[in-house]
Structure 1
Amino acid sequence: MRLLILPFLLIFFFETSVAQFVYVAPVPGSKYHLTNRTIILKTSDPLIATGINGENWYSVIGEKSGLHHMKTKLTGGNKTILLKPVHPFTPGEIVTVSIDDNYLRTVQNNFIEGFTFSFQVRPDYSLEEIKLLEFAKRDLIAASFGAIRQIPQEVRSAEDFPRFVIDTNTNPAPGDIFFYSFNFEGEPTNHICIMSSDGDSVYSQKTTEKGGTFDINKNGYLTVFNSDSSYFEVWDSTYNIIDKYATQGYTTDAHEFILLPNGHSFLMAYDPQIVDMTIYNPNYKENATVVGAILQELDADKNLVFEWRSWDHIEITEAQHTYFWGDYIDYVHLNSIELDDDSNLLVSCRKLDQILKISRTTGEVMWRMGGEKNEFDFLNDPLQFNYQHDCRRLPNGHITIFDNGCYHIPPVASFKEYELDEVNKTASLVFSYSHPLINGANLQSWAMGNAQRLDNGNTFINWGYIPPGSEAPNMTEIDSVGNIVWEMHFTDTNFLVVYRAHRYEWSPCIPTEIDSINAMVISEVAAIISWSPVRNAGSYLIQYQSVDAFDWDSLLLPPTSTFLLLKDLVPATTYHWRIQALCHAKGDAFAATSEQNFTTMSIPVDTGTVGIEIIVFPNPARDQLNCIVKRSGIADAQLVLIDVLGKEWYHKEFETMEAGKSFAVPVGGLPRGLYILKMTYSNQQRLFNIILN
């Protein structure tokens, strides 16, 4: 017996190995964490879910608050474990997390190696320190977007469109310009706008909020930052709010929001903390307010599944052009996030003069471009960049940067395109553009700004916070060799600026109008529901239910559909129904129409006769007539379409016709006008007057 067991044990031993977590948050040994901090553990392979919701494989113990019960969730294709404390940790305490050996197992039968790590919760700040932190948050907003003042809410008025002049309009790329203008100084004049190249207002909304981004996001929805409530709103193409996104545990920052087609999102926040700066220099402040940067990824259910914090990776003293003796130090100032082609992240850090590439798998910094710890050799660009914004990856693999150039000598703003060799760490400047001199001076941009490479090779540039009175343009579009093909400037005396602006070709889907839908009962067990086509619809979701049913029956139809025959209904029964246009091509998914009703016919008394019963629609028609038979038992029938002069345009014969049978009469190629559709059977005849328009 022992000889049989031993080989089995040896086989089990060799087939089972040990795996480790590839991502752990909080970073072991880190500090300044929230009292409700979510613990995130990620593996490279899916985990077996059995037992994960139990508490016998981990312990979370606060040195003051004691043992913590955690809400456990397995997500991310069973590769991510989330542990959320039921009760908050105590401020300032060290929390120790222990994972047991040989309990968690991957689907490849590899056990997860146990380990222990600790992190520290942010301190229990005094009232005076809390006030300093609140002031810091307001200062951050004011530094980026000016002081916030409230104005009455007004919407969709062309008269409220910001005042501007188009200086050049020769051959711009197709599409409209999307931007959120606001004033840094004077009385608030904030506007969310879509403008054509000719200056026509496609959409304008005067708002109470201080500007930020107004974009078509990566999933096709409109997104805009609400500074009053510190969250991003998601709009459909009729400008209705359909969702909201915010960071978990922090005040959401306006600089960046990415919403992917799979529902994942990326947001950022600034995190002011009280820091003893004398550890770097005895002449620095003991209680300086230092602002860190937080980057978060939320999954489709808005669970926090990834977090990167500057505290864990960037030394405060790496900041360029920063006065470390002061009370307030914004040492990173993260201002853009780009999902790279390899699914990692490119981030722009203004105060570091640096672009970082961050591993979305491990959270580690993969490389740094620019700044104090630059890893790249810059070719053809001895100035490099500083105080930059808006790092983006192009389809050709290059990256683009809006270089504010505040510390160039002399200061000058420019658009730069680099070809990167990420293995040998070289950055070759392949294209750059600075505006021609204006009254003998460089165009400067103190803050904000972005640049967008368009499909036709043009580049659309928003110059951001240009100095007041400089007579510089606010937006410029250039062709591939640097010729200006479109340019505008605001004329508002309150000094309008734009954080980001983009040109998009936008032909939005529209919702299904209530007056364009109809239900027609054709028998005791069948009905036809119809609707007008929706522009750019990707599909239609039809839902119906009897009045006493709990669940909806759902059918997904292609975008070419304009009607649906419902069969196998219950006689003499009222049904609710509704339709939803799903505009997959543009991302929109409109709310369903309000519920409509129809009632099926009662079962008739059998009189022994058969009548011709047929439904014809739509009428008027354009491309085809749809015909549906209401009664069974019809044989040797003819269907003929004639014009008013008696000319026959369509003829079809049927051996039998059963209830529910549908067929189409093509009329798209016929002259427009009045026609007669004639159905004959035996000695019976049914005529329909048809209009083709």
Structure 2
Amino acid sequence: MAQEVTSLRKYGKGAKKSSADVSLLDMLESKTPYTYAHPLPGAALISPFTTVAFRTDEPIDGSTAFGKISLKGAKSGDHSKGETVLLSGRTVHFRPAHPLAPGEQVHVNVAEGIKTGSGKSLPAVEWSFHVSWRKLDTYHRVFLPLSVNGSHSSTHSSRANLHLLKKIRSDHFLLGLGAKKHARERQSTRMSIGDEGGQEIEETIVPNPAYRTLPPKYPRAVMRKLGDLSKLSPGYLFTAEIDQDPDEKTMKVIMTDRGDPVFYELGTLPTFAPTHNKQLVIRQSDNAIVVAGNDYRKKARFQAQHGHIINHHEFQMLSNGNSLILIYDPQLVDAKKIRPGVSGATRDTWAVGLIIQEVTPKGHVVFDWRSWDFLPRVWWETNMVVENRVWDLTHGNSLEEAPDGNIIVSMRALWQVTKINRNSGRIMWRLGGVSGNLKVAKDPNGLFSGQHDARLHDGLLTVFDNSVKTGSRTARAVDYKLDGSKATMVSLYDTGIAAFAKGNYRRMPNGNRVICLGLKLPPGVKGERRNPWYLETDDKGRPLVQMQWRRETHSYRVVKGPWQGFPRWQPKAIIDNNNSAGQMRLHFSWNGATEVDRWRVYRGEEKIADLKRTQFEHWVDIPEARNSCQKYQAVAVGRDGRELNRSKVAKSKPCSDEKTKVKKGGGVKRIKSSSPACDVIWRKRENCAADRLTISQNECEARGCCYKGGKGQTVEGLVRCFKSSNI
């Protein structure tokens, strides 16, 4: 086999009789003064790059914790050197200077003398855990394929295992969906929708096909008006177009609920969404999620720790400024010994567990929860089988900070939503699945299956139920009222559309439902897989609007919410005559800007238009630009009449005939100027009028600069007022 595997026999049948959140966590609480620790006493399958953390109910005097923690590995030896920090006043965090050895037992020693805020001295504590047999080259984002000719060694994995681990990072691989090349764009613009009593519903392509400032990759959608649009909830739509082909470049977008663009950026991020503190989960960079401010610039960067890879299903900013990160943790096990009857079981199966980390902006792990510790019966509860040597045991797909600060997690493979105590890691309740301890009441399906996007607000749990194995097999938006040991369904909207995977549902403050329907068909079934990525109903369940990508692409999630964007980049202005009349027009827009009230358009120094901003892009006719050199600039104006920003100068085609002729020879450039003093050989020019659209010769020379005749500051890099390196 490629590397040593774990049978977990001692965690098998015995685990079915007692819960590990009792045996491990209770062991910690009964033998130590701690309410939380990572790794837990007796834990297995721990990353060799782990940190060690523990906390108490009382605040800790951080100055008394330094030098008190040491680790000793059975193979790697002493690990007393490392970084010790105090997190959130109660959590002591220790990062060893060097990784542990795969497969070894590690003893943790905490010396006595750590004091609480009240002056109480904590006793010495010892416990141990076992490191995973996974080899060091299988951690971190970039694997280290040091094996030769596909073979393996005691320290390096086979190329086959490294390749499979890389594929496990892909949700499409775990869902059994292969790459589909060249997503086809749908051509029709009108169709009859579902069971609408034969009513023909007119479809509109959005955004406006007349726009010229959008990039070619901007995703077009078909919008269907289904009801009274005045009843739509306020807010912008945040989503990302996803292609089954991972090499196909797509975009994440903010748009209005009428399909008009607000912001676009190349790159796919399923969790693209605004945060609670008016920031934006904007992009994934290496093994990290980047959070931006309202200027779209990086404010924070969060990375999965302990050598793990961040999973794209979910990322949540917490109210304390930390983040919740979802991690899929593959471990090589002997599935035939753990559960002999499971389909596809092999003796070298990669079983994928779930890890939830709370990580600070500085990369410290405040909280680490692992399904290996708290879900010992997962091997028998999962609805997944082994495929291609991979056993996706939980398939976590959403995280939520509950109103009381604890964690709500959805696990698709278990058909279960679970609440986790964020202080200790103890499971508070489980809804659905084989072992749910909350009783489901008044749900006509009896249970959700393959669900996504579980959210808890004001005692109401909202779930997007894919219904892959229950009821009518069509996706539902379901609301459960939690009361003691019971979850009563109080509201339901059945979309009537099959959604095999992905999707989400959010209940808006006005009672409307906002729904994304993910992917339509399961693997192996021929047909169109895309679904509407945006469906909104009113509070009575009457559909109002629906959008679907024109290409055979889909979205993982759509979020609707408020946003104010103040980009630092300039508005865009271009001259174009690609319209039915062949008219010369200046098109202009400002990607990401939400606070533009008016646009002013200038031709040279003359204002030729002043118009109210009503959509993403505007344009004005400029017939004079066809046969004469003209230069234009679009100026964005705020509600207070203040100029916000202006575009670069756009010039008409005839201006190309007036370009300065530059002679090149021997790597030296010569420029002719209306001023004899500027007829010099130069190698570099410095723009003296970057702050001006136009400048006169007197003003230019008053700045001690050279002036090139003609109005305008810049025409395709031709600077009118400049200094040269030889002046």
TM-score by length of 1: 0.65
**Pairs within 5 Å for 1:1-400:** 20-54=33-67, 57-101=68-112, 103-123=113-133, 125=135, 126=152, 127=156, 131-132=160-161, 134-141=163-170, 142-143=172-173, 157-168=214-225, 170-171=228-229, 172-184=232-244, 188-207=248-267, 210-226=268-284, 229-248=286-305, 249-282=307-340, 284-314=345-375, 315-324=377-386, 327-381=389-443, 382-394=445-457, 396-400=458-462
Deviation at 1:96, TM superposition (A): 0.5
Tell me the equivalent position of 1:671.
none
Deviation at 1:136, TM superposition (A): 3.5
- The whole-number CA distance in structure 2 between the counterparts of 1:257 and 1:296 is 10
Tell me the equivalent position of 1:477.
536
Which whole-Å deviations, capped at 9, do the CAs of 1:485-521 have from their partners, x for residues lacking one?
12112221xx1110111112223356699xxxxxxxx
Deviation at 1:535, TM superposition (A): 9.8
Tell me the equivalent position of 2:467.
405
SS in structure 2 opposite 1:257?
Answer: strand
Which whole-Å deviations, capped at 9, do the CAs of 1:605-656 have from their partners, x for residues lacking one?
xxxxxxxxxxxxxxxxxxxxxxxxxxxxxxxxxxxxxxxxxxxxxxxxxxxx
Change (3 A) 1:97 1:412: same
2:506 to 449, 452, 457: 452
Change (3 A) 1:432 1:143: farther
- The whole-number CA distance in structure 1 between the counterparts of 2:50 and 2:180 is 33
* Aligned amino acid, residue 466 of structure 1: K
- The whole-number CA distance in structure 1 between the counterparts of 2:561 and 2:311 is 24
* Aligned amino acid, residue 256 of structure 1: E
Is the 1:388–1:405 Cα contact (8 Å) retained in structure 2? yes
Tell me the equivalent position of 2:553.
496
SS in structure 2 opposite 1:160?
Answer: coil
- The whole-number CA distance in structure 1 between the counterparts of 2:594 and 2:532 is 36
- The whole-number CA distance in structure 1 between the counterparts of 2:501 and 2:541 is 23
Tell me the equivalent position of 1:417.
479
SS in structure 2 opposite 1:27?
Answer: coil
Which whole-Å deviations, capped at 9, do the CAs of 1:502-548 have from their partners, x for residues lacking one?
112223356699xxxxxxxxxxxxxxxxxxxx999xxxxxxxxxxxx
* Aligned amino acid, residue 129 of structure 2: F
- The whole-number CA distance in structure 1 between the counterparts of 2:215 and 2:569 is 26
Tell me the equivalent position of 1:431.
491
SS in structure 1 opposite 2:173?
Answer: helix
* Aligned amino acid, residue 501 of structure 1: V
Tell me the equivalent position of 1:563.
none
Is the 1:72–1:81 Cα contact (8 Å) retained in structure 2? no
Is the 2:536–2:545 Cα contact (8 Å) retained in structure 1? yes
Change (3 A) 1:325 1:138: closer
- The whole-number CA distance in structure 2 between the counterparts of 1:407 and 1:466 is 14
Deviation at 1:282, TM superposition (A): 4.4
SS in structure 2 opposite 1:238?
Answer: coil
* Aligned amino acid, residue 113 of structure 1: P
SS in structure 2 opposite 1:312?
Answer: helix
Change (3 A) 1:241 1:300: closer
Is the 2:69–2:80 Cα contact (8 Å) retained in structure 1? no
Name the Cα RMSD after superposition: 3.0
Change (3 A) 1:163 1:511: closer
- The whole-number CA distance in structure 1 between the counterparts of 2:120 and 2:79 is 28
* Aligned amino acid, residue 370 of structure 1: G
- The whole-number CA distance in structure 1 between the counterparts of 2:126 and 2:282 is 42
Deviation at 1:164, TM superposition (A): 1.4
SS in structure 2 opposite 1:116?
Answer: strand
Is the 1:24–1:41 Cα contact (8 Å) retained in structure 2? yes
Is the 2:533–2:557 Cα contact (8 Å) retained in structure 1? no
Deviation at 1:350, TM superposition (A): 0.6
Deviation at 1:246, TM superposition (A): 1.4
Higher gyration radius (CA): 1
* Aligned amino acid, residue 143 of structure 1: F
- The whole-number CA distance in structure 1 between the counterparts of 2:262 and 2:74 is 59
- The whole-number CA distance in structure 2 between the counterparts of 1:380 and 1:130 is 51
SS in structure 2 opposite 1:138?
Answer: helix
Relative contact order higher in (CA < 8 Å, ≥ 6 apart):
2
- The whole-number CA distance in structure 2 between the counterparts of 1:76 and 1:69 is 20
Change (3 A) 1:196 1:388: same
Deviation at 1:404, TM superposition (A): 0.8
Is the 1:449–1:464 Cα contact (8 Å) retained in structure 2? yes
Is the 2:315–2:323 Cα contact (8 Å) retained in structure 1? yes
- The whole-number CA distance in structure 1 between the counterparts of 2:368 and 2:247 is 38
Residues paired across the two proteins, number: 481
Deviation at 1:323, TM superposition (A): 1.9
- The whole-number CA distance in structure 2 between the counterparts of 1:496 and 1:110 is 60
Deviation at 1:231, TM superposition (A): 2.2
- The whole-number CA distance in structure 2 between the counterparts of 1:148 and 1:243 is 33
Is the 1:234–1:242 Cα contact (8 Å) retained in structure 2? yes
- The whole-number CA distance in structure 1 between the counterparts of 2:308 and 2:246 is 30
Is the 1:32–1:121 Cα contact (8 Å) retained in structure 2? yes
Which whole-Å deviations, capped at 9, do the CAs of 1:91-118 have from their partners, x for residues lacking one?
11100012234x1221223232333211
**Pairs within 5 Å for 1:520-539:** none
Deviation at 1:484, TM superposition (A): 0.6
Deviation at 1:31, TM superposition (A): 1.6
* Aligned amino acid, residue 199 of structure 1: G
* Aligned amino acid, residue 160 of structure 2: K
Task: Structure 1: give runs of 5+ residues left out of the alignment.
Answer: 1-17, 436-441, 514-533, 537-693
Kindly indicate whether residue 565 of structure 2 is the aligned counterpart of residue 505 of structure 1: no
Is the 1:463–1:475 Cα contact (8 Å) retained in structure 2? yes
- The whole-number CA distance in structure 1 between the counterparts of 2:399 and 2:108 is 30
Deviation at 1:459, TM superposition (A): 1.0
SS in structure 2 opposite 1:496?
Answer: coil
Deviation at 1:128, TM superposition (A): 5.1
- The whole-number CA distance in structure 2 between the counterparts of 1:170 and 1:160 is 31
Change (3 A) 1:259 1:147: farther
- The whole-number CA distance in structure 1 between the counterparts of 2:332 and 2:494 is 40
Return 347-356 or 213-222, whichever deviates more: 213-222
- The whole-number CA distance in structure 2 between the counterparts of 1:144 and 1:203 is 31
Is the 1:70–1:83 Cα contact (8 Å) retained in structure 2? no
Return 398-407 or 127-136, whichever deviates more: 127-136
Tell me the equivalent position of 1:615.
none
Change (3 A) 1:52 1:124: same
Is the 2:318–2:401 Cα contact (8 Å) retained in structure 1? no
